[in-house]
Amino acid sequence: MTPTTVNSQGISLQAYTLGDPKKTPVVLVHGYPDNHSVWQPVAQQLAKHYFVILYDVRGAGASQAPRAQADYRMKLLSADLLAVVDTLIPGRGFHLAGHDWGSIQSWESVTSEPLKSRILSYTTISGPCLDHMGHWMRERTLNLSASAKAKVFKQVLSSWYIGFFHLPVLAPSAWQGGLDKLWPQYLKHRENVAEPDANPTQGKDGKFGVQLYRANFRNKLINPEKRYANCPVQLIVPTRDNYVGTQLFEDLHLWVEELYRRDINANHWVPLSHPERIADWIHEFVSGVEKGTMSGALQHARVRPARSALPLNGKTAVVTGAGSGIGRATALR
C-alpha cells in the first residue's frame, strides 16, 4: 500500500492506496473500534480491478485524534472523506463502501452535497443511517402494534453498548485497562474471525472512537432529517449481527430508489470473516453500475415493488403493509 497524509480542516489523516490509479476508484471506510486494516483483505482482492483507497478516520490508526467531542460530528467526518478524495482523485467520481461506523458516517456523504453527485454507488454493511434509524424508531414507537414495539425492544437490547459508550470515564478507560489486548480473542470467539491480527493502535482506536457515538447519536435520533440517496445502493446484511438488527433496514427502500439487498449468514465483522465474498459482491455491484447492466444475481437481489405506494424523494416507492407503521418492500434474494 502507498501511504499519503491528508489535511482535513487542521486534522492530519493517513490514507492508503492500492492498485492502478488509472482504474475506477473504490473508497473503503472502516468502523469502530477499527482502523483501515479491517478492510485490507477485501482491498487486496479489489485492487486487481480498481484503484482502492482506504484511510484511518479521525481518532483511529495513524490519523490524528482530536480530544473534543464536537470534533467527531458527522459533518466533519464527511468533510474528511471529501479531503481524502480531493487529494487522491480530485474531481473524479468514485464508488464507496462502508462497514459499521464507516457506513454510518458515509450516509452523510451519500445523501448530501458536495459528494452526493460524485458517489457512483454505495455498499453499506452493518451501518444504518442515523437519520433513517431515527425515523424507523419514531414510526415503531408510535405504532400501537405489539410487533412494532417488539422490534424496538429487540434493537434496544442489541444496542446496550451505546449507553456504555456515553459513560464519561469507563468506556475510554476499558481500552487502556486491557481490552485492547483481549480484542483479537473477542473477534475470534465471538465474531468467528479465524486468525485476527493484533492491532498496534487498538487502544487508541477504541478510546477516541467512542466520541463518534457521543457526538452524533442523541441529536440524530431525536431530530432525524430526511435523507435520500440518488446513487444505487447495495445493502449487505449479516443475519447473525450481534449489534445491528436486520429490522433496522426494513424501511431503507423509502430512502433509496435503486436498492439491492444481499443477506449473508455471518456475524458483524464480515470484512474479516468473509473477505472474499464481500470483495466479490462489491466487485459485482461496482462492475454492474459501471456497465449499466446488473448481473442476474443482483437483479434477483433488487428490492421489488409490491402493493401500496408511499412518497420517495418526490417519486413513488411501492411497499407492502408489514404491520410496522410504514411497511417494507419485498426483497427478492
What would the pLDDT profile of 133-142 be if each residue is shown by its tens digit? 889 877 776 5
Residue 314 above 90 pLDDT? no
Q: What pLDDT does 167 receive? A: 54
Mean pLDDT of 181-186: 92
What would the pLDDT profile of 43-97 be if each residue is shown by its tens digit? 999 999 999 999 999 999 999 999 999 999 999 999 999 999 999 999 999 999 9
Domain count, the chain: 1
Q: Residues of 226-255 as b/e, b for ≥16 C-beta within 10 angstroms?
A: ebbbebbbbbbbbeebeebbbbbbbbbbbb
What would the pLDDT profile of 284-303 be if each residue is shown by its tens digit? 999 999 999 999 999 999 99
The rounded radius of gyration (Å) of the Cα atoms in the chain is: 19
Q: What pLDDT does 198 receive? A: 86
Q: What pLDDT does 239 receive? A: 95
Peptide bond into 114 cis (omega under 30): yes
Q: What pLDDT does 146 receive? A: 73
Give, as one character, the DSSP assignment of residue 24.
P
Residue 4 above 90 pLDDT? yes
Whether residue 28 contacts residue 53, with contact meaning beta carbons closer than 8 Å, is answered with yes
Task: Note down the domain range covering 137.
Answer: 2-331
Residue 250 above 50 pLDDT? yes
Burial of 188 (0-12, 13-18, 19+ CB in 10 A): middle
pLDDT band at residue 323, thresholds of 50, 70 and 90? very low
Q: What pLDDT does 307 receive? A: 38
pLDDT band at residue 165, thresholds of 50, 70 and 90? low
Q: Which of 246-250, 272-276, 306-310 has the lowest mean pLDDT?
A: 306-310
Mean pLDDT of 116-126: 97
CATH number at residue 42: 3.40.50.1820
Give long-range contacts, CB 8 A cutoff, 24+ apart: 217-223.
217/130, 217/162, 217/166, 220/74, 220/130, 220/131, 220/133, 220/134, 221/130, 221/133, 221/134, 221/137, 222/134, 223/134
- Comparing 176 with 253, the larger pLDDT belongs to 253
Whether residue 25 contacts residue 95, with contact meaning beta carbons closer than 8 Å, is answered with yes
**27 phi/psi in degrees, rounded to 5:** -105, 130
Q: What pLDDT does 245 receive? A: 83
Q: What pLDDT does 157 receive? A: 59
Which parts of the chain are beta strand (E)?
Answer: 2-8, 11-18, 25-29, 51-55, 94-99, 119-125, 233-238, 259-264, 303-304, 308-312, 315-319, 330-331
Residue 151 above 80 pLDDT? no
Q: How far apart are CA 133 and CA 251, in angstroms?
A: 9
Q: What pLDDT does 8 receive? A: 97
Q: What is the mean pLDDT of the chain?
A: 86
Counting residues of the chain whose pLDDT is more than 90, the rounded percentage is 69
Q: How far apart are CA 126 and CA 96, in angstroms?
A: 14
Joined grid coordinates for residue 61: 490508526
